Amino acid sequence: MDLSFLVSNPLINVAVISWAAAQLLKALIDAIKHKQFDRHRLAGAGGMPSSHSALTCSVLLTSYYLYGFNSPVFALSFILAMIVMYDATGVRWAAGLHAKAINHIVEFLEKEDDPEGKRALGELIPKLNESLGHRIREAVCGAALGFLIAIIAHLARQGGTRLF
């Protein structure tokens, strides 16, 4: 099986580069904010900037450059970007708030006396990930990063250089 299309496809390349750049920035911003590096942030959801927004917006703009506004590829890229950013700032953000509330409830209930010697609630319900979605500014910054990477890739292609 020939997998050379993976490295020769500009849409895949710009998507991977945008996602990786956003994840790296996210980990660095988190390390500066918390004064310690957490390697899990390199692949984690939520936080600044949105890697999902960066990925979909880089594909959106690259599909415009390669195929034009009226192409089916651009149309699908646009629809996908809108769904992803809506999901990140709506559904996933709300799920993160729910996780935070559940974690507080579990913590509160564990502080109560357990006269019957039941298992601790924290053992039954593991701590939930609270960093699932994005604030609007995180999605917008991710989108801007994706657009920037797509523009750089486009300018490089126009100049005869294939960066990615």
CA dist., res. 20 & res. 103, Å (int): 30
pTM score of the predicted model: 0.77
pLDDT, tens digit, 9 for 90 and up, residues 55-110: 999 999 999 999 999 999 999 999 999 999 888 887 766 777 777 777 777 777 77
From the CB of residue 35, how many other CB atoms can be counted at a distance below 10 Å?
A: 6
Q: Is 145 exposed, middle or buried (0-12, 13-18, 19+ CB in 10 A)?
A: buried
> What's the mean pLDDT in 133-160?
90
DSSP 18-55: HHHHHHHHHHHHHHHHHTS--GGGGT-SSSSSPHHHHH
Q: How high is the pLDDT of residue 123?
A: 66
| Angle at the Cα of 82 from the Cα atoms of 79 and 84, rounded to 5 degrees | 105
Query: Which stretches does DSSP call E strand in 43-158?
Result: none
CA dist., res. 76 & res. 63, Å (int): 9
pLDDT, tens digit, 9 for 90 and up, residues 66-79: 999 999 999 999 99
Q: How far is CA 77 from CA 19, 20, 38, 56, 109, in A?
A: 15, 19, 32, 7, 46
> What's the mean pLDDT in 121-140?
72
Q: How high is the pLDDT of residue 53?
A: 95
pLDDT, tens digit, 9 for 90 and up, residues 1-14: 666 666 789 999 99
Q: How far is CA 95 from CA 45, 46, 90, 105, 150, in A?
A: 12, 11, 9, 15, 31
pLDDT, tens digit, 9 for 90 and up, residues 37-55: 878 777 777 778 999 999 9
CA dist., res. 159 & res. 11, Å (int): 18
Q: How high is the pLDDT of residue 145?
A: 98
CA dist., res. 17 & res. 19, Å (int): 6
Q: How high is the pLDDT of residue 103?
A: 74
